[in-house]
Structure 1
Amino acid sequence: MQPDSNVLPESFSDSADSRDSDPDFVAASSSSTLTTESEEDSEDSKDSGSGWIGKNGQVWFPTNEETLPFVKHARGVTSGPTRYAIARVQGVDSAFDLFFTVEMIDLIVNMTNLNGQRTNKTWTDVDSTDVKAYMGLVILAGVYKSRGESTGSLWGERSGRAVFKATMSLKRFNEISRALNFNDKLKKAARRRDDKLAPIRTLWEMWAPRLQMLYNPGRDVTVDEQLVAFKGRCRFRQYMPRKPVKYGLKLWIICDAVTSYAWRCSPYLGKTENAPEVGQGMRVVKELTEGLQGVTVTCDNFFTSYPLAQELLKKKISLVGTIRKNKPELPPNLLEVRGKPFPSSVFAFTNNTTAVNYIQKRGRNVILLSTRHREAVVTEGPKCKPEIVNYYNRCKGGVDNLDKVVGTYSCRRKTNRWPQTFFYNMVDLSAYNAYVIFTAIDPSWNCQKLYRRRLFLEELGHLMVSAAIVQRKHLPRAPIAAAMVRELQSSVAAAPQTPAGTSNVAGQRGTCKCCKNRTVCTCMACARFTCKNHHVICCKDCWPN
């Protein structure tokens, strides 16, 4: 599962890689010997005929005379938000609601109430407003970078924030956290033997397809793994010593290389039948790229292989990535570094693939494979890196950047239940994807600010808790929190009143503020659209004068 220690993995830029500090992970280049091979290589090529032979019989050529030119395939779609997303995004909260639909919220409500009734004798049922308020509070906790802070301090007199006390009490927040559930525990016991993801499978299958439905990635995509920190009990928990968190839940992710939009995720559930999977990297890339066409996939040496590159070409997808030295398709002539001047590069070609052995100095070299580049092109300058290396450095960091931006304002709370950790990660990815979609639709929104994402998350969190604050019957004890509740409730009461069941504009339709269904009815208090399932009909004696 881990990369070969003798192979330079992801980064070959001038700066050190953020994930690994191994000095072998640094490389440089020069154009002094890019177009010429040593006399020893020339003799080897003559002995083997007109090309170099790999261990499995694959024939390579030292020049690209037999290589076909690269053809850029048509994509058929425009990169960016889909029409489905553009038609439904009206604000910050509506962008996030595209990922957590009404059906998903109802599932969480029903399963949480069921679990709460079984485990807590004094349990009070939650509704969709409570669940959204809970999600809004954990998002705000991430905005304030309180992931390592105790939950009690968020409601504290000195260290707390007024919005937490104004939304719900600390006791209620802890009750929801303990009861939060996504499946019936009594029914999933039998399923768990066959499906390790059973406790959250239903919610995951409702959430994962929406990632592809709402956004079309650009021509450059990145495939890599994400490790979500978790140290509790879990059958498929992973130990990766080279990762910052080391223990966690692993997901395979493909994302847009420019925006880092998470386009598809697949959880890794461990070994099957007590044996390691053969060809796992190829299977993962083929599954993640299903439905894509005309793109270039960038991945590290765990995934890259010559058979994978040929399979992707059949799907009109090109591949660029580092490749391990022990791959049988690589010829010994390409791997040889003794006697080679450094810095230097040695190229090898087939009819549709290019491989390059990039040597910086003695003992430091890296091999890359590309079906996009068909010529021995290098950049000018003192370090003169091959174009394949420069392209790999530009596009390899899509998932790494996703980890960085999600971790900056992560909503994850400390828990011993891995389904809850999965849920927090789903909220984090949804919030970031919603930000990408919203800023693509409205690029002028806070365009002058350097912390747009923080403003987006803060506004999203406040919008998600506002309904719970308005519905509060008792004011909190803290004066600042009580003033916040009064202000919000008074602003709603002062809104122009329209009789329930009517529209403020004849024939105009809008989205229900409670369930997001389309309706022509509006609330009599706040004048916002409210469907027939969520407005109250009063008799004429109770109707306000």
Structure 2
Amino acid sequence: MAANISNRKRRFTTKQAEELITQQRADADDACSSDSHSTEESDSDDSDVDFSPESSSDHDSSMEVDEDPEPEGTAGSEWKAKNGQVWSASHQETLRYFPATCRRPGPTRYAITRISDVTSALELFITKEIIQVVVDMTNLQGFRTVTNWKKTDSTEIQAFIGLVILAGVFRSRNEAVLSLWNEHTGRPMFRATMSRKRFETLCTKLRFDDRLSRPARLRENKLAAILKLWEMWEGRLGLLFNPGQDICVDEQLVPFRGRCRFRQYIPNKPAKYGIKIWVACDVATSYAWKMQVYTGKEEGARPEVNQGRRVVLELTEELQGYGHTVTCDNFFTSYALAEDLLKRKMALVGTIRRNKAELPPILLQTRERATLSSVFAFTKTHAAVSYVPKRGRNVLLLSTKHREPSVSEAEHQKPAIILDYNSCKGGVDNLDKVVGTYSCRRKSNRWPLTLFYNILDVSAYNAFVLWVAVDPSWNQTKNQQQQARHEEAMRVQIQSVEEGSTPRQWRSKSRTRNSSGLN
């Protein structure tokens, strides 16, 4: 009934018709005068829309490109991440980054006043206290397992360390002991220092803790077999050197295939199996400033959440307030870590994984993205970039150091964030390279001994860094420097034996046994 009434023709008088026509003309004039203003309002509404794969189709995105010729991410655009974090395409509201003043990089005053030669530099790491721990625990193990154990002392342990380093200098760490002591093809220094049998005995009996009390300590820490020595040594790394502006945090894999509760498998590492150590090192020198052995999760415990964040915060805890920049890979990088470091007056630069909820969806899109293109997103203190090195693939980075959409004009048009990351990411990898070239690490089925060899390797390199900083006149080529530092370290360890009574002399039947020698 209502539909029939609405469809009837309505009759107007002449006067009513004239008034209706006049009103329609007035409305048409008002609409024409406000047409441009309505268009501006429509454009403004479109710019406030959140760009996300779920709410936009391919057709919509193409229409936006046609209507808006400006580059992607114009001023006023905002993107919302899955966790609610709001990003902007413009850096106009991003605060500038002013790093705090760093300490003067290089050896600390404590180290400088105690370094006179390579010997003293190495002894800052392998201290008399550390040597004494090795002596005491080795003698304890020897008396328990060998009937006529010949007591060792600090002089002989230093000689043993010197021979191990010498084997690394000759790149003979994998060479059989029998070959090293061979009268025709071996090294005279080995035979002059101690007998082959004594060297093999020390390798077998070398210990760093009391084995009988170890089970109780293992319940508290899986590293109990070498924990005391490790803490004595690791605590000195930061005491002797101030890192520069850039710090690199990464993992080191010490090769080991024997039995160990916390042995790790990392397929992209050359050794694949070994003991994983978290390392924070100075980018400029690759000085190992802080190290932490990863002992795995506790039995029955759930996997650790935000492990990378915890590791970085622990390794850099003593650097807070000095304006350092931490560079790390996507295992460690997160928005929360960047915020934590900012509270410590430190910056973060690192690659970040695609599954992070704090990233805006616009950075994850690669369809129809031009090769070598970059898309930036900003908050007040963070910058994120999506760079397309090749078609269909992008690289994501997060930074609190960079606050502008800076892109290189070179051939590959890389953002400044990527350039800085590439220049700093290899600090720990370079440490592995220089340490591994002349490593003294001999094959062993005991993981504490493997860690001890790694301690010697890192100590030798760190001592070299300190010595070159104190005496810059060392201007040999890189390879000469590496070999020279190891030869000098080896010579120093054996020197005390040569100047006094050597173990070889103690065993001579024609000489009276020295009271300080072997029993």
What TM-score range do you get, normalising by the shorter chain? 0.7 to 0.9
Q: TM-score, normalised by structure 2?
A: 0.82
Please list, as runs of the form range in 1=range in 2, the aligned pairs for 1:270-289 lying within 5 A after superposition. 270-272=296-298, 273-289=300-316
Supply the distance in 1 between the matched residues of 2:110 and 2:66 (Cα, whole angstroms).
61
Please list, as runs of the form range in 1=range in 2, the aligned pairs for 1:337-356 lying within 5 A after superposition. 337-356=366-385
Q: Deviations over 1:108-154 (max 9, x none)?
A: 10000000111111210111001111111111111110122112211
Structure 1 match to 2:502: 472
Structure 2 match to 1:79: 105
Question: What SS does structure 1 have at the residue aligned with 2:113?
Answer: helix
Question: What SS does structure 1 have at the residue aligned with 2:330?
Answer: coil
- In the superposition, relative to structure 1, how do residues 59 and 88 fare at CA in structure 2: closer, same or farther (>3 Å)? same
1:165 to 185, 188, 191: 191
Give me the CA root mean square deviation: 2.3
Q: Does 1:230 align with 2:256?
A: yes
Structure 2 match to 1:141: 167
Task: Give the C-alpha shift of residue 38 in structure 1.
Answer: 5.2
AA of the residue aligned to 1:297 = V
Structure 2 match to 1:181: 207
Where do 5+ consecutive residues of structure 1 fail to align?
1-36, 483-533, 535-545
Q: Deviations over 1:59-114 (max 9, x none)?
A: 00011011011112112x21000000000011111100001111111111000000
- In the superposition, relative to structure 1, how do residues 243 and 373 fare at CA in structure 2: closer, same or farther (>3 Å)? same
Supply the distance in 2 between the matched residues of 1:40 and 1:245 (Cα, whole angstroms).
56
- In the superposition, relative to structure 1, how do residues 288 and 40 fare at CA in structure 2: closer, same or farther (>3 Å)? farther
Q: Deviations over 1:38-58 (max 9, x none)?
A: 569999x99xx8410000000
- In the superposition, relative to structure 1, how do residues 473 and 173 fare at CA in structure 2: closer, same or farther (>3 Å)? closer
Give the fraction of aligned pairs with identical amino acids, expressed as a percent.
Answer: 56
- In the superposition, relative to structure 1, how do residues 154 and 474 fare at CA in structure 2: closer, same or farther (>3 Å)? closer
Larger deviation, residues 468-477 vs 282-291: 468-477
The answer to whether the 8 Å contact 1:166/1:476 transfers is no
AA of the residue aligned to 1:433 = N
Q: Does 1:318 align with 2:347?
A: yes
- In the superposition, relative to structure 1, how do residues 126 and 40 fare at CA in structure 2: closer, same or farther (>3 Å)? farther
Q: Deviations over 1:304-331 (max 9, x none)?
A: 0011001100000000000000000001
The answer to whether the 8 Å contact 1:38/1:340 transfers is no
AA of the residue aligned to 1:123 = W
2:282 to 247, 250, 256: 256
Q: Does 1:96 align with 2:94?
A: no
The answer to whether the 8 Å contact 2:237/2:289 transfers is yes
The answer to whether the 8 Å contact 1:165/1:476 transfers is no
Task: Give the C-alpha shift of residue 244 in structure 1.
Answer: 0.7
- In the superposition, relative to structure 1, how do residues 242 and 127 fare at CA in structure 2: closer, same or farther (>3 Å)? same
Q: Does 1:400 align with 2:429?
A: yes
Runs of 4+ that moved beyond 6 A: 39-43
Structure 1 match to 2:361: 332
Q: Deviations over 1:262-318 (max 9, x none)?
A: 000000000124321001000000000011121000000000001100110000000
Structure 2 match to 1:266: 292
Please list, as runs of the form range in 1=range in 2, the aligned pairs for 1:533-544 lying within 5 A after superposition. none
Question: What SS does structure 2 have at the residue aligned with 1:266?
Answer: strand
Please list, as runs of the form range in 1=range in 2, the aligned pairs for 1:349-364 lying within 5 A after superposition. 349-364=378-393
Supply the distance in 2 between the matched residues of 1:288 and 1:361 (Cα, whole angstroms).
35
Structure 2 match to 1:426: 455
Q: Does 1:297 align with 2:326?
A: yes
Structure 1 match to 2:34: none
Larger deviation, residues 365-374 vs 267-276: 267-276
The answer to whether the 8 Å contact 2:195/2:504 transfers is no
Question: What SS does structure 2 have at the residue aligned with 1:88?
Answer: coil
Q: Deviations over 1:238-282 (max 9, x none)?
A: 011111100000000000001000000000000124321001000
Question: What SS does structure 2 have at the residue aligned with 1:186?
Answer: coil
Considering only CA atoms, is the larger Rg found in Structure 1 or Structure 2?
Answer: 2
Supply the distance in 2 between the matched residues of 1:324 and 1:172 (Cα, whole angstroms).
53
Supply the distance in 1 between the matched residues of 2:159 and 2:65 (Cα, whole angstroms).
68
The answer to whether the 8 Å contact 2:435/2:457 transfers is yes
AA of the residue aligned to 1:175 = T
The answer to whether the 8 Å contact 2:156/2:503 transfers is no
Supply the distance in 1 between the matched residues of 2:267 and 2:484 (Cα, whole angstroms).
35
- In the superposition, relative to structure 1, how do residues 446 and 130 fare at CA in structure 2: closer, same or farther (>3 Å)? farther
Structure 1 match to 2:406: 377
Question: What SS does structure 2 have at the residue aligned with 1:72?
Answer: coil
Question: What SS does structure 1 have at the residue aligned with 2:254?
Answer: strand
Structure 2 match to 1:129: 155
Q: TM-score, normalised by structure 1?
A: 0.78
Structure 2 match to 1:62: 89
AA of the residue aligned to 2:211 = K
Task: Give the C-alpha shift of residue 418 in structure 1.
Answer: 0.4
Question: What SS does structure 1 have at the residue aligned with 2:213?
Answer: helix
Supply the distance in 1 between the matched residues of 2:368 and 2:309 (Cα, whole angstroms).
34
Structure 2 match to 1:21: none
AA of the residue aligned to 1:166 = A
Where do 5+ consecutive residues of structure 2 fail to align?
1-63, 509-515
Task: Give the C-alpha shift of residue 472 in structure 1.
Answer: 2.6
The answer to whether the 8 Å contact 2:372/2:413 transfers is no
AA of the residue aligned to 1:339 = E
Supply the distance in 2 between the matched residues of 1:385 and 1:225 (Cα, whole angstroms).
26
- In the superposition, relative to structure 1, how do residues 408 and 473 fare at CA in structure 2: closer, same or farther (>3 Å)? closer
Question: What SS does structure 2 have at the residue aligned with 1:367?
Answer: strand
Higher helix share: 2
AA of the residue aligned to 1:326 = N
Q: Count the aligned residue pairs.
A: 442
Please list, as runs of the form range in 1=range in 2, the aligned pairs for 1:432-451 lying within 5 A after superposition. 432-447=461-476, 450-451=479-480
